[in-house]
Chain A
Amino acid sequence: MIPAKKLLNTLTEHWGMLELLFKRFKMADFSLKDVQNAIKQKQPTWSNERIYKETNRLLNQDIIIPLAKSSQLEINRAIADFATFLLQEEHLGLAQEITVLVDDLARLGDRLDNAGSIEDYDEMRRFSRIMDDRVRKIMKLFAHNENAILNIVEQAKANNAVQSLQKRYQAVIEAFDEYIEPMLEMVDIRGSFHACFNTIESQISSQIESIERSGKAYQDKRMLERLRTRILEMHLVGRESLRKSADMLMPLREELRRNNMITRQAAKVLGLVRKNGVDNMLTAVQPNFVSDTQRFSLGQQRHIIAYMAALAEFEHSEYELPDQQDVPSFVTPNIPDYHNVKANFKKRFNSKRKKPQPLLTFLGESYPGLEADEMLFLYQKLVSDSEIEISQSDEKMRVKIAGQHFSLFPFNTKPIDSKPVVSPHTGNE
């Protein structure tokens, strides 16, 4: 028997090397040379002789043991388990392990109950101890499996993308199907696990009660109480741990399922696109983008040409032709016949020619009903008529005809011996 302290010292001294071996070879075997290389890697300054001695020490202390009928070596199983615990490199256990322990717990519970009923307190204490041990084991398994699942998840996430998805997630799927699902079934509120614990709990409670009543073996009461608490706690811890594990695995499983779906869908869509054409197939579903720059700017030359063409035909608003009834109907000017006017004029001015008479005064007196423009029209006619002798005054005058004021150099009837000047100068006010 190797003293534990000695073993621990060796382990401490060579932990780096052992960790290396453990990680490199997992649970597989290795040769003596591998061990020496590992030592050399960790302790490059050591001489070959020293390395040889240290290797022998590891072998002598059964830390590394030779495989049966082979020159290969392996790490002592107990040390390996210890290392997995320390490094949290745990591998997922079986759901059955826990099931077996729980069944055993139920069996022990029955025997404890029997021992209690026949007041065999030594037996009761013994079973209580065994049960306690089982409960600890189950709790350890829960913790262990939770760590293992964490490792699986991490590995699946960190694995190289080059690997196919199926391969990468194989461990995840296995973990889910082989551990989580049976375990969830078991801890289900209607499952066997729950029923079993209920029975055990009521058995222990009744034992505690009878001890309290009888007053015998009073120190055993505390032990039973502790056991009951531990079992309740185990149940709780188990549920918690499973929930956590499921939470970690679920997203990955979903991801896998979704990825498979996406791949299948992509293949299907591309098939449809090949058959029906890109635009026909994808127009309805394509994501749309806001593109104000395209909408509000003239990017290309053809846009600018189109814009300028539009400018050339620019109308501010639709031009509307006026309706028929909106136009005022044509009123013939109310002008008396010119020949009458002329005759009138001659008749009036032929007799008395002594003094020049203003033409406009004559028109204003003779035709008071005329508008100003009509009056001026007649005035213009008379002035330009060569048959009538008239002369223009040299002084500017302001005349009022038909409500309008005019300033002009007025034409008058021609007095004797004056020359006619034909240049009317009228100005509207």
Chain B
Amino acid sequence: MTQINLDELSHLQAINKKLVTGYHISEQDTVMWQELDQQIDAYRALFSALGHDLQHDSRGFYYFASDESTPNMGKISRAIALTIYILIEHYANSGKDPMRALFDEVSDLELMQTLVQMNKHLFDQLEIFSGSDLRKDVYLRMVRLGLSREVETGFMLQAPIYRYIDALMEVNEETYIGEDE
């Protein structure tokens, strides 16, 4: 039985507010991350009693696991997935180390425009027609989910992106949902 001393969980409110909206708390959110790190048992017990599944990923982030998304959230998630995979391909094509570039390079509006132009028919399916659409529909949402942070010249991706990399490795012909299903 874990003893939970609420007085010690001084950032419970902020952490809860972030996590229930799907936000990923990573090391960049220093204060919250540190508290979660130190009081992980208490938080895990508390949240699981509230029906949430608090997950700690060893690559440095915390989030609530969920088996399903709301339809709207699902669409956002697919848009993010597509953007990440296109980014990886883009970096690899330009001769960079994709994983390093993914986390080290700043995504600016110019890059977004290039991505959308080069993959027009893919982004069309998600109703993203321009670089600024991509910024608004994908990057700003990623910020809200804690997947990226806004910097002076654009956006930097953060560790929770690994969830998409994991998902990438899972894709194969069998995950295809045919029209008849």
Please give the residue numbers on chain A whose beta carbons come within 8 Å of chain B beta carbons, in ascending order.
161-165, 168, 255, 258-259, 261-263, 265-270, 272-274, 276-295
Contacts and interface: CB of A to CB of B under 8 A. Distances in A.
B165 A262 contact: yes
A278 B82 contact: yes
A393 B19 CA distance: 83
A261 B166 CA distance: 12
Given A164-B95, A259-B98, A269 B177 contact: no
A287 B167 contact: yes
Contacts of B19: 290
Contacts of B167: 282, 285-287
7 contacts: A262-B99, A270-B85, A283-B74, A285-B171, A287-B167, A288-B74, A291-B21
Contacts of B96: 161-165
Contact of A266 (B88, B119, B178): B88
Nearest to A296: B20
A269 B95 CA distance: 19
Interface in B159-181: 163-171, 173, 175-179
A284 B82 contact: no
B64 interface: yes
A265 B169 contact: yes
Contacts of A284: 175-177
A295 to B, nearest CB: 6
Contacts of A277: 125
Closest 10 CB pairs of A and B: A289-B22, A165-B97, A290-B64, A266-B88, A284-B175, A292-B20, A286-B77, A287-B163, A288-B66, A263-B92
Contacts of B165: 262
B81 interface: yes
Contact of A280 (B85, B126, B179): B179
Contacts of A262: 88, 98-99, 165, 168-169
- Tell me the dominant secondary structure on chain A's binding face: helix
Given A161-B97, A266-B92, A281 B22 contact: no
B101 interface: yes
A280 B169 contact: no
Most buried by B among A163, A272, A278, A293: A278
Contacts of A265: 168-169, 171
B82 to A, nearest CB: 6
Contact of B22 (A259, A269, A273, A291): A291
Interface in B4-25: 19-22
A289 B99 contact: no
B86 interface: yes
B111 to A, nearest CB: 14
B21 A269 contact: no
B68 interface: yes
A285 B170 CA distance: 7
A290 B85 CA distance: 22
A232 B78 CA distance: 60
A293 B171 contact: no
B80 to A, nearest CB: 8
Contact of B97 (A259, A276, A283): A259
Given A280-B177, A280-B178, A281-B175, A294 B97 contact: no
A262 B125 CA distance: 24
A276 B82 CA distance: 13
Contacts of A290: 19-22, 52, 63-66
A206 B57 CA distance: 58
B176 A276 contact: yes
A26 to B, nearest CB: 25
Interface string B123-138: 0011000000000000
A111 to B, nearest CB: 53
Contact of A285 (B67, B99, B100, B175): B175
B168 A287 contact: no
A265 B169 CA distance: 7
B126 A278 contact: yes
Given A258-B99, A289-B69, A293-B20, 16 more contacts: A161-B105, A164-B95, A259-B97, A262-B165, A262-B169, A265-B171, A266-B168, A269-B85, A272-B171, A273-B122, A274-B122, A280-B179, A282-B167, A283-B74, A291-B21, A291-B69
Contact of B73 (A255, A258, A278, A288): A288
Contact of A274 (B69, B121, B126, B179): B121
A105 to B, nearest CB: 43
A289 B104 CA distance: 25
